[in-house]
Structure 1
Amino acid sequence: MSGPAPSDRRIHLASPDGAFSVTVVATGARVSSVLHTATGTEFLVRTPWADEEWSGTYLSDSSNKEWHRRYAGGWHTLVPHAGDARTLGGVEHPFHGEAAWRRWRVVEHDATSCTLEVVLRTTPFVVRRSVVATAVGVEVRQSITNQSDRDVAFSWTEHPAFSGALIGPSSQLSVGGDPVDIYFPRDGSSHGAFRTVLAEGRGTAELRNHDTGAAVVLRWDPELFPYLYVWQEHHQTAGFPWWGLMDTIALEPASRGYESDGGPLGPIVLAGGASVAASFGLELTAPGLLG
C-alpha cells in the first residue's frame, strides 16, 4: 500500500560485515531500502512521496487507485492475491492483497534480522516474514499457515522493484541464464511495459547494468513460483500516478499468471492447519565492483 508514514515503525538492519544496510517498515512488512554502504548505492526504488503522512487522508474510490497513490516502492509481499481488487464468496480483497496493506507486528529483532507477523482477515492465514541482511545483500523467508479446518486457495507474489542504479541502455535481464527480450530506453526517452515470463525450472533472474557493473541476482523456488512478472516504468506515465517521475523495473516471482480467470484466488491450496514456506535471496553488486 503505502509508507512508511512518519509514525510507521522502521527497523534498521546491517549485514555482519557492514557491507549492506536494510530497512524494513511495519506496513506490509515491506523492505523499503537495501543500501550498499561503501558506495551509497540504493538498490530498491523509492518514490518522492514515500515519507508522506496518510492518516486522516480521504480514501480514493477504489483500492487500485489508493495503492498507486500511496505506492512508496521497495519490496512488498502480495498475499493472498495480486492484481485488481475482487470479491469472492462475499469477501472483498483489495488490490494486491490484504497483507501489503496491513501493519504487521514485530516479533523478533536483532542487529542483522527481524521477523514480523500478521493475522489476515480476508483469509484465515497467519503470515510470518523474516528479513536478514547478509554479506551479499538480503534474504527474505516467509511462511503462511492456515488456521482454519478447511482448504483455502490463494496466490503469492513477491514484488521487489529496483532503482535506477540497475537501469540503463546497456542493462540486460536473464532468467535461468536465458536472455529475456526487454527494452531499456536510451537518450532520455521513456518506456513502460509489463510481461509475464514462464520460469518453470528456472528460479534465478539476473539484472545487470553493463555500463556501471551494478547487478542483482534474485533467487526463488520455481516450483512454487513458476512465473516471473516483469514491470517496467521508465518515465512513461506523464499523469497520475507517476507524473513522469518513476524509473523502475520490478522482478516478481509469482505462483500464477497475472490475469485472474474469475475462479479461486490462486493455485496454491493450503489444507486446514497446514503451512507453506519459501525463501528469496537477493545478491547485489554495486557500481564499480564488477564481479
Structure 2
Amino acid sequence: MRYSPSRTWRRGSRRTGSGSPTSPGGRRGTADLTGAEGAGRSGPRGGHRVRRTRSDRAEPVVHLALVGLPRAVASPLTTGNSHVDWHARYRGGWQVLCPNAGDERQAYGTVWGFHGEAALVAWRVLAASPSAIILETELTTAPLRLQREITVSGQTLRVAERLTNLAPVPLQVHWVHHPAFGHPLIDRGTRLATGATRLLADQTIPGSMLDAGAAYDWPVEPVATLPGCEEPRSAFACLTGFTDRAWYTITNPRLDLSVRVTWPARTWPHAWLWQQLHGSTAYPWFGRGHACAIEPASTPRHRDDRQARPGPRHRHRTVRDARG
C-alpha cells in the first residue's frame, strides 16, 4: 500500500493538491492528504481512527493503531494534567495537533495543553457519502476553525484541511499531522525513506538511539531500519531539509507492503519522527507501545509557529518565535 498525503498550494484562501498515481505491482495503494489552509476572519473525539486499510486483495494492509492499549472508555480520565489526559484518550490513528503540539504552554492568557485540543473536541459532520466526509470543529482555547474533507478513491485516501483564524488579531499556532502506523507494516526490517536531508534529535527526549540535540545527515541507521518486537527502542526527532514536495515512505519488504506520504513543504516544512517500539516502560506505554509516526509539522519542535493572520484575504505566512 502506498500512503500519499499530498498537498499542493494555490493562491487564495483555499489551497489543494492532487494525489500521486497508484504504482503497479505489490500491495500498494495511495492515501492522498491534500492540505487546504485559510486564515482570516475567521474526528470524532480523539481524532480520525483508521483501524485498517485494505488493498485490492481484500486483505488487511496497515493498522493506524497501537498494540496492547486498553479500549477507550466512556469517561476518559480528567486529571488536570494535559499530558496524562491526552494519552488517556489516545488509541493511535491520525490526529491533527492544533493550536499546540508537544508540551503544554502558556499562550494568549490561557494554557494550550499537550498536543492542543483539536484531537480531543467533537467534530461536526457537515456532509457524508460512502466515499467522502466533511468535518468541522471550532476550538475553545484559540479562536480557530478547522475543516477536514476526507475522501477515498480506489487505493487513495485524501484529506483536505483548512485552518481559519476567526479573530481580528494574528495568532501564532502549531499545526501538525499525527498519523501513527502499527503492525503489520511496522515490523522487523521495515525501512523508512524520505526527501528530508537532516535529522535533528530532540533536545529533551531523543529516545534510546540519538544524542540529545544532535544533528545528523539522513539517512540515519538504525533509525531508518526498524527492529522486531524483541528489540525495544524509542526515538523522537525532527526531519527537515525538504524540497517543495515533501515525502516519506514506510516499506515492509517481507510483506511487499508500503505507505507513501507527500505534502507541500511550504506549509509543513518539517516532519516529526516518533518511534515507540516497546521502548518506554513508563506511562502511557508500559512497554506496550508499537508505533511509528512521521508527522508533517509547521514547527521543528517548539521553535517555529504558524501565524494565522486576520483579514478577508485568508493569507498565511510563517514567522519565527522569539525563542528561536
Equivalent residue number for residue 195 of structure 1 = 237
Counterpart Cα distance in 2 of 1:198 and 1:116: 30
Q: CA deviation at 1:58?
A: 4.6
Q: CA deviation at 1:32?
A: 3.2
Matched, 1:122 2:141: yes
Q: CA deviation at 1:137?
A: 3.3
Equivalent residue number for residue 53 of structure 1 = 73
Q: Point out where structure 1 has 5 or more consecutive residues left out of the alignment.
A: 1-18, 278-291
1:195 is paired with a residue whose SS is strand
Q: CA deviation at 1:41?
A: 2.6
- Identity fraction in percent: 26
Q: CA deviation at 1:186?
A: 4.3
Relative to structure 1, is the Cα distance of residues 155 and 239 closer, same or farther in structure 2, using a 3 angstrom cutoff? closer
Q: Please tell me the root mean square deviation across aligned C-alpha atoms, in Å.
A: 2.5
2:49 is paired with a residue whose SS is strand
Q: CA deviation at 1:28?
A: 4.5
Output aligned runs, 1:157-236, within 5 Å.
Answer: 157-176=176-195, 180-181=219-220, 182=223, 183-186=225-228, 188-201=230-243, 202-236=245-279
Amino acid at match of 1:200: F
Q: Deviations over 1:209-254 (max 9, x none)?
A: 1222111000111111111111001111223211222111001000
Matched, 1:35 2:53: yes
Matched, 1:241 2:284: yes
Equivalent residue number for residue 36 of structure 2 = none
Equivalent residue number for residue 125 of structure 2 = 106
Matched, 1:255 2:273: no
Q: CA deviation at 1:273?
A: 4.1
Relative to structure 1, is the Cα distance of residues 58 and 78 closer, same or farther in structure 2, using a 3 angstrom cutoff? closer
Q: CA deviation at 1:161?
A: 0.1
- Of residues 214-223 and 84-93 in structure 1, the stretch that sits farther from structure 2 once superposed is 84-93
Relative to structure 1, is the Cα distance of residues 119 and 274 closer, same or farther in structure 2, using a 3 angstrom cutoff? farther
Counterpart Cα distance in 1 of 2:295 and 2:136: 21
Q: Deviations over 1:61-98 (max 9, x none)?
A: 41111112321100000111201111212112111112
Relative to structure 1, is the Cα distance of residues 48 and 188 closer, same or farther in structure 2, using a 3 angstrom cutoff? closer
Q: CA deviation at 1:187?
A: 7.2
Relative to structure 1, is the Cα distance of residues 121 and 186 closer, same or farther in structure 2, using a 3 angstrom cutoff? closer
Answer whether contact 2:69 2:288 (CA < 8 A) is retained.
no
TM-score normalised over the length of structure 2: 0.71
Select the structure with the greater relative contact order (CA < 8 A; seq sep ≥ 6): 2
